[in-house]
Every structure is written in structure tokens, then in C-alpha cells.
A and B are shown apart, each in its own frame.
Chain A
Amino acid sequence: SQQGEEDPQALSIQEGENATMNCSYKTSINNLQWYRQNSGRGLVHLILIRSNEREKHSGRLRVTLDTSKKSSSLLITASRAADTASYFCAQPAIQGAQKLVFGQGTRLTINP
């Protein structure tokens, strides 16, 4: 299966702490994407990192990519209650394709 594995499946931390989520994948990629899903809602695109990039930032988000280990991580710094959501990594089903395969997701809970 191409589907990525995310780790941990669930994470609960205190507001203000940093949250790190990991994603491992099995096939070669040209990019990897991270999405957030609030409960009962659709997904929101967060960051796309290309295979020739090692790190990318967007506000309080930092994504790293290690193609040699086929892994990526999403770091949320100074977490807020509003960051409570599920986070998914996604990779193209085949290189160059728009079809994505989503990981199992990490359910993040930020406690006030």
C-alpha cells in the first residue's frame, strides 16, 4: 500500500507547547502535502513541500522532508486551542498525478 503512516495517531498537549507529527511513505514522490481537518469539516491545505526541498515554513508551521528516509514531519510551534484538529499528510498516487493518497492522520488536541 502507498498509504502513508502517521505517528502518533493521537497527540494531546498543553496550549503553548510545540506539536510534532510524523509521516512516513513508501514510494518515491515529487512532493508531499499536509492538510488539516477540523471535526466534521473538509480539509484545508497547509503546506506543499517539493522533493528537492528539505524544509518549509508557513507562520507557526514548519515542515521537513527527508527523501532518503521517506519521511516528513509537521511542527506546530506555540500551539493554540484553535489548532485542535486532525492533520493528514498526502502524496501523489504516482509522480505527476493530481490524485493524492492520504495518511491515516494524527488527531491533535490542544488543552487550554
Chain B
Amino acid sequence: GAVVSQHPSRVICKSGTSVKIECRSLDFQATTMFWYRQFPKKSLMLMATSNEGSKATYEQGVEKDKFLINHASLTLSTLTVTSAHPEDSSFYICSASYGTGGYQPQHFGDGTRLSIL
């Protein structure tokens, strides 16, 4: 149980392109979804937290106009990297959790490797 699907797994595109990444919880309703960025051999950096039907909460230093997050339903959140540039190249990972109280683990997608040429 608690399967999260992330798509696409890899994207290679030209500078200036906008890229959309989808994160779906397949067998549960996710009250909260998270988007992370990970650099090679580094830890996860939280970018934003999204709850269904409300605006995402971005971490300090993350440009909300650059990284658009939409959480349209309890099973789907999307991250759009707008006008991507080479410095946006990274590994992006989503996770989802359900319930409240802070004792719920997060369930992760398999990540999207974004390469901007």
C-alpha cells in the first residue's frame, strides 16, 4: 500500500522550456504533498508543501513564480518549472502523506531527473 507515482522519470529539454512533473498517490488520499530537490550525493531540500485545494507553502529562498505547484485533488499534485534554465537541472522528488498529528511517514515517488540544455 501507500504507492506514489511520479511522472516523468526523466526530462531533457532546452533552456526556456516549461516542464510539468506529476505526483499521484495511487491507493490513498494524500492530505499533504511535498516537493523536494536533491543535488548529487546530497540530502533532500524541501521546496514546498501543498495541501489539496489551497495554495502551496514555499520554503524560504524558493521562487514561487519559478516553481508553480498545483494540488488539484487529494491524489494529484503537479510541479511546473517555468522557463527552465541549466541551473534548474536537478533531481526532483515528491512525497505524500495522509492524516495529521506529525506521526505519519511520507511516501515518495521515484523522482524526476531534469536536465536543461
- A interface residues with partner B (beta carbon < 8 Å): 3, 30-31, 33, 35, 40-45, 48, 50, 88, 92, 95-105, 107
Q: Which residue of B lies closest to A47 (CB)?
A: B105
| Contacts across chains A and B counted by CB atoms under 8 Å | 61
Q: Are A41 and B111 in contact (CB under 8 A)?
A: yes
Residues of B within 8 A of A107 (CB): 41
Q: Are B46 and A99 in contact (CB under 8 A)?
A: yes
Interface size class of B (residues with CB under 8 A): 20 to 34
Residues of A within 8 A of B4 (CB): 42
**Is B61 among interface residues, defined by CB-CB distance under 8 A?**
no
Q: Are B113 and A40 in contact (CB under 8 A)?
A: yes
- With both chains docked as a complex, state the minimum distance between the C-beta of A58 and any C-beta of chain B, in angstroms: 12
Q: Choose among A30, A35, A88, A102 the residue that contacts B102 (Cβ–Cβ < 8 A).
A: A30
Residues of B within 8 A of A45 (CB): 105-108
Q: Which residue of A lies closest to B109 (CB)?
A: A42
Residues of B within 8 A of A100 (CB): 34, 46, 106
Q: Are A98 and B111 in contact (CB under 8 A)?
A: no
Q: CA separation between A112 and B4, bound complex, in Å?
A: 32
Q: Are A42 and B108 in contact (CB under 8 A)?
A: yes
Q: Are A43 and B93 in contact (CB under 8 A)?
A: yes
**Is B104 among interface residues, defined by CB-CB distance under 8 A?**
yes
Q: Which residue of A lies closest to B44 (CB)?
A: A102
